[in-house]
Amino acid sequence: MEKIELDKICVRFKDHTVLKDFSLKIPSGQIIGIVGPSGCGKTTIARSICGFINPESGSIKIDGKLMCSRQSHVNIPPEERKIGVVFQDYAVWPHLSVYDNIAYPLKKRKAPKDQINDQVQFAMEQVNLKGYDKYMPSQLSGGQQQRVAIARALTSSGDLLIMDEPITNLDAKLREQLLVEIRLMQQRLGTTIIYITHDQEAAMQLCDRIAILNPDGSIAQIGTDEEIIKNPASRFVFRFIGVSNFLPVILKDGKVVLENDQSIVIEPIVPDSWPAGQDQADLGIRPMDIVIDSSSSIRASVTQSVFLGNMYNYFISLGGLDIRVQRITGQDNETECKEGQNIGVKLLQKRYFKREEKA
Ligand SMILES: Nc1ncnc2c1ncn2[C@@H]1O[C@H](COP(=O)(O)OP(=O)(O)OP(=O)(O)O)[C@@H](O)[C@H]1O
Ligand SMILES: [Mg+2]
């Protein structure tokens, strides 16, 4: 069952089209990450689902029920959409205690008093804030304040939460901890969560599936973290997820050679993954997938070598291109290469992308 269905929504601010025929189906009981660069339209998607923006065309359904469609003259107000929201800048109210902050959505809905108490206690338990009822936000750490915001979202809706960069302002360790807590809470409650962030690592850690958006707001790829890492749909996705090197390559005499230095043969035959109909491409490769191997005919020189305790981080010059290489200490009898040294490299896990896809 789809929890949310966005069907070809268009959102425009004056002459700036942010979302064009944007469609996305979000199944019940999953955490879906929406990830993309700043300004691509993530918050606009969240605000449209919540009802703060009414898309000029297309429709949004929640639990199969139409929430908005100009064509059908439907636009359900935000408070009737039953969505719990945690926005980065949607802070807790400083003048209300933890209890009153979390109880607020229920009081607004005029829920019975004993029901309010039960739900607030339940929500506080879910975010590890038990016993903090009387604390004021000023007496809480940043992480605890975010927990209050999450608990408040939970009392708005136990089954659909939208979190838009909820933990971006926290330090790394706390972020990690909250991600684990959000995951555990979601598993306990079966909540559907839309988790919006530009932090692809957090999304990978937390989400069942991730939608990666292009800078123009269209979907570049939807999949599990594994699918996205193993099979990036485009050059943009490959670059967005982790550190990457790109080498311009061309076809010459049936071989793949480096464009800058055509004497460097990358592949003796054209690989199956070569983009059809192209005579040039960009070879994408991760720093971990470059192996130093003295027997290789692909020669490079080491321009910088940094020892990081458990790995070597190299910059090498390959046909005049600066390439990053990462080798784990102790792997394959790896010994340190010195700056200026001439080395052979083997390129594993090569991916070829069409040239014009530059982002
Ligand atoms: N109310 C508005 N009026 C005019 N332009 C807007 C409005 N809201 C958003 N935009 C524009 O729409 C585009 C998308 O904004 P949005 O906030 O959805 O991006 P985002 O992906 O959430 O970015 P970030 O990662 O920085 O939060 C931006 O170019 C922004 O300037
Ligand atoms: Mg945003």
Q: Per-residue DSSP letters for 32-44? A: EEEE--TTSSHHH
213 CA closest ligand 1 atom index:
21
Query: What is the Å distance from ligand 2's center to 47 Cα?
Result: 10
* Structure token pair of residue 182: 């959000």
What single string gives the DSSP state of each residue in 313-343?
EEEEEETTEEEEEEEETTGGG--PPPTT-EE
Nearest CA to ligand 1 atom 17: 43
Integer Cα distance of 167 and 302 in angstroms: 39
pTM for this entry: 0.86
The CA 41 to ligand 2 mean position distance, Å, reads: 7
Q: Is the CB of 38 under 6 A from ligand 1?
A: yes
Tell me how far the alpha carbon of residue 64 lies from the centroid of ligand 2, in angstroms: 26
| Contact (Cβ atoms closer than 8 angstroms) between residue 61 and residue 7 | yes
28 CB contacts (<8 Å, ≥6 apart)? 1, 2, 3, 192
Q: Up-side HSE of residue 33: CA atoms within 13 Å toward CB? A: 27
User: How much is the pLDDT for 63?
Assistant: 96
Report whether residue 42 contacts ligand 1, using a CB cutoff of 6 Å.
yes
Q: Is 221 in the pocket of ligand 1 (CB under 6 A)?
A: no
Closest listed ligand to the CA of 41: 1
Q: 3 is written with which tokens?
A: 């929890």
Q: Is the CB of 198 under 6 A from ligand 1?
A: yes
Cβ(187)–Cβ(89) below 8 Å: no
Q: What is the largest CA-CA distance in the chain?
A: 80
Q: Which residues 6+ apart lie within 8 Å of 3 measured at CB?
A: 26, 27, 28, 29, 62, 63, 159, 160, 192
Phi-psi region of 139 (alpha: psi -120 to 50; beta: other; left: phi over 0): alpha
**Cα of 188 from ligand 2 centre, angstroms:** 28
Three-state SS at 174: helix
Ligand 1 atom nearest to CA at 165: 27
Q: Which domains does the chain have, with CATH numbers?
A: 2-239 (3.40.50.300), 246-357 (2.40.50.140)
| For the CA of 164, the nearest ligand | 2
pLDDT at 307: 87
Q: Tell me what pLDDT residue 169 has.
A: 72
| Tokens describing residue 143 | 């992480």
> C-alpha angle with apex 127: 121 to 132, nearest 5 degrees?
55
pLDDT at residue 357 in the model: 52
286 lines ligand 1 (CB under 6 A): no
pLDDT block averages, 10 residues each, the chain of length 359: 95 96 96 95 96 97 97 94 84 91 90 91 90 94 88 89 86 85 89 93 93 96 94 92 93 94 94 93 95 92 90 93 90 77 94 75
Helix ranges (DSSP H) in the chain: 42-50, 98-108, 113-126, 142-156, 172-189, 200-206, 225-230, 235-240
Residue closest by Cα to atom 4 of ligand 1: 13
Q: Ligand 1 within 6 A of 43 CB?
A: yes
Q: What is the pLDDT of residues 144-197, one digit of tens each?
A: 898 999 999 989 887 899 999 888 777 788 888 889 989 998 998 899 999 999
Give me the helix-helix angle, 172-189 and 142-156, nearest 10°: 20
Cα 16 to ligand 1 centroid, rounded to whole Å: 10
Are residues 281 and 267 in contact, defined by beta-carbon separation less than 8 angstroms? Answer: no
pLDDT for 90 equals 57
Ligand 1 site, residue 39, Cβ cutoff 6 A: yes
